[in-house]
Structures are given as structure tokens and as C-alpha cells.
Amino acid sequence: MKHFTNVRDIGDLHAALQEAFDIKKDRFRYHELGKNKTLMMVFFNSSLRTRLSTQKAAMNLGMNVIVLDVNQGAWKLETERGVVMDGDKSEHLLEAIPVMGCYCDLIGVRSFASFESREYDYNETVLSQFMKYSGRPVFSMEAATRHPLQSFADLITIEEHKKTPRPKVVLTWAPHPKALPQAVPNSFAEWMNAADYDFVITHPEGYELAPEFVGNARVEYDQRKAFEGADFIYAKNWAAYAEPNYGKVIHRDRAWTVDAEKMALTNDAYFMHCLPVRRNMIVTDEVIESPRSLVIPEAANREISAQVVIKRLLESLP
């Protein structure tokens, strides 16, 4: 694996899952693989789970880890070429990226959608520059359009809990006070389509995801109907994708909050969310605290998904 930015990079899902379950049984088995190798984790945005789980995964593989918070202590970075840099940005990514590449063997990057331009975000402008100019294998720790380490962890979690080979999985929009990127729902949809589950996406009109991510999913605008017979409910907020509302909150309808009454429509479904979650906006206390909530196992599996990816990138180094 040269880089890891989407589901295609992981190849055969069955093989990836088997590798994940093997690593989960003995996460220190490959401790020699990363000896004297350095992972650099570059954060343009905040994180709790990704930072901790990815660092832990690299340490399990015997790696050294450097963490750079771009917005705390580093020079402010310009990302667009051709800009006259007479403002507050002291360094350009085009120098900063190859410099970072000098100090490490692998690079993980977190760079969210800016919501300034759909084209800029959906071209993955920042992540692409890291792949082009660092000279190192790069993996996404959530980029503008996808969060593949999260989706891989979600897939592992579903496989561990499903009772039927092809469960009904429902991705539901839920309200949130701020505009959030589409990276998690896009990526979740991409991985659920690749897994060939019975996959349904439900959201209010106006929150349609990009068609390339919806893929073969059924879109249902009636949330209650979508929940009927579901085995897994995956809640997430996202801002509008369609122009002219790209990146905007078009409503915050609290009627879409996941509650116990809606969960009762399902096939005793598990509740999932990537975290962090706004309680009693996205989901009620009762549902997230219920025995059917998988939010902690999902977070725990972030260490495993990261370890599979970093292991494969290490194995591909020359």
C-alpha cells in the first residue's frame, strides 16, 4: 500500500478484516517492524481519538512518533500556490511538506474541509500536496471528504456484532448547532457500499451527499421508515453538499435526534457514532448509555484500524 486515503487503498475487505482480527488477538506481534522508523502525525484540526489511537498503533509496531499541531506553535501555513504572502501566513506548504518528509518515514495528515470552496475541498487540496511533495507514504487521519480510519474501525465493529451476513445498516443525519464536514458520512457510505450490506441513508431534504458516495445505498427521507428493521443505526450530522448551500446548516430539526422511541422501530439495533457527539442533539442520553450503544467499542477499534494501515505502509517501504 503506497498511501491510504480511501476504501480502495485497503484492497480486499475480507483480508483486511482478517488482519484486523489477528492484530487484535496479539497487537505486539509486529513490534520489530517499526523499529527505528518514525511516524509524523500532522494535525491541522483538533482530535482526541485519532491522535491517541494512531499514536498507540504506531507504538505497538515499535515506531517513534512526532506530533505536529500546525495551529499551535508552528508557522501559519499558506496552502494555495500563487498567493502573495503579505498576510499572517509565514510559510508555504510547498516548503513545509518536503521539510516534514525529511524527518520521518510515514506521514499521517488531518485536514478538514474548509467550506470556503467545494472544489477546493473535494479536490483534497491539502492531502494531495502531502502525497505529491513529502516523498513519503501518506495516510489520512480525516481529510476534507473522507475519514477512512474511522470507517474501517466502524466496519470492524459491525463485523464483530452482526447476527446476519448482510445486516441492515442505516446512516442517519441528526441535528447539530454547527456546520460539520461530510467526511465521516461520505466515508462510512463508501465502506458500507464496499461491504455490500443492506445500506440505507436517511436525512432531511437538502442534505443529499455527493452521488459518488451514495453509490448503491437507498435514500429514504422518512427517518422512521428507514429505522424499521435496522440492525445498526449510525448517526452523524453533516452540512449541505449541494450548491448553493455547500457547507451550510439549512436546518437543525430536533425531530431528527435519535431517541429510544425511534430505536424501538428497529430490529433491536445497535447505536453507533464516531464521537465526539453532542448529547441530546444527535442522540439522547438514554440511547448512548444503553447496552446497545457501540460508541466505545468503535473508538477502541480505531487503534486496530490504524495498526493494520500503518503495518501495511511499513511493509511497503523500500
- Per CB under 6 A, does 294 bind ligand CP? no
- Per CB under 6 A, does 47 bind ligand CP? yes
Question: What are the grid coordinates assigned to 100, written together?
Answer: 516534514
Stretch that binds ligand CP, among 15-23, 155-163, 199-207, 271-279 (CB under 6 A): 271-279
Among 3, 37, 49, 262, binds ligand CP (CB under 6 A): 49
Q: How far is the CB of 185 from ligand CP (least distance, A)?
A: 13
- Per CB under 6 A, does 303 bind ligand CP? no
Among 60, 129, 145, 150, binds ligand CP (CB under 6 A): 150
From CA 29, how far away is CA 103, in angstroms rounded? 26
Q: How far is the CB of 111 from ligand CP (least distance, A)?
A: 13
If the CB atoms of residues 47 and 128 are measured against ligand CP, the closer one turns out to be: 47
- Per CB under 6 A, does 67 bind ligand CP? no
From CA 183, how far away is CA 189, in angstroms rounded? 10
Q: How far is the CB of 191 from ligand CP (least distance, A)?
A: 14
Stretch that binds ligand CP, among 10-18, 44-52, 116-124, 247-255 (CB under 6 A): 44-52
From CA 27, how far away is CA 221, in angstroms rounded? 42
The answer to whether the CB of 171 falls within 8 A of the CB of 185 is: yes
If the CB atoms of residues 49 and 203 are measured against ligand CP, the closer one turns out to be: 49
If the CB atoms of residues 54 and 257 are measured against ligand CP, the closer one turns out to be: 54
- Per CB under 6 A, does 275 bind ligand CP? yes
Q: How far is the CB of 293 from ligand CP (least distance, A)?
A: 15
Instruction: Tell whether omega for the bond before 318 is within 30 degrees of 0, i.e. cis.
Output: no
Mapped onto helix, strand or coil, the DSSP state of residue 200 is strand
- Per CB under 6 A, does 50 bind ligand CP? yes
Counted residue by residue, the chain has a size of: 318
Contacts (Cβ under 8 Å, ≥6 apart) of 15:
none
* Adjacent-strand bridge partners of 200: 170, 218
Q: How far is the CB of 93 from ligand CP (least distance, A)?
A: 22
- The pair phi, psi for residue 245, each rounded to 5°, is -100, 15
- Per CB under 6 A, does 236 bind ligand CP? no
- The pair phi, psi for residue 272, each rounded to 5°, is -130, 145
- Per CB under 6 A, does 274 bind ligand CP? yes
From CA 271, how far away is CA 281, in angstroms rounded? 15
If the CB atoms of residues 6 and 150 are measured against ligand CP, the closer one turns out to be: 150
Instruction: Tell whether omega for the bond before 297 is within 30 degrees of 0, i.e. cis.
Output: no
Q: Interface residues for ligand CP in 114-143 (CB under 6 A)?
A: 142
Locate all alpha helices (DSSP H) within the chain, ordered by sequence: 7-10, 13-25, 49-60, 93-102, 118-122, 125-133, 148-161, 183-195, 211-214, 223-227, 260-263, 285-288, 295-315
If the CB atoms of residues 151 and 223 are measured against ligand CP, the closer one turns out to be: 151
If the CB atoms of residues 168 and 236 are measured against ligand CP, the closer one turns out to be: 236
Residues that bind ligand CP (CB under 6 A): 47-50, 142, 150, 274-276
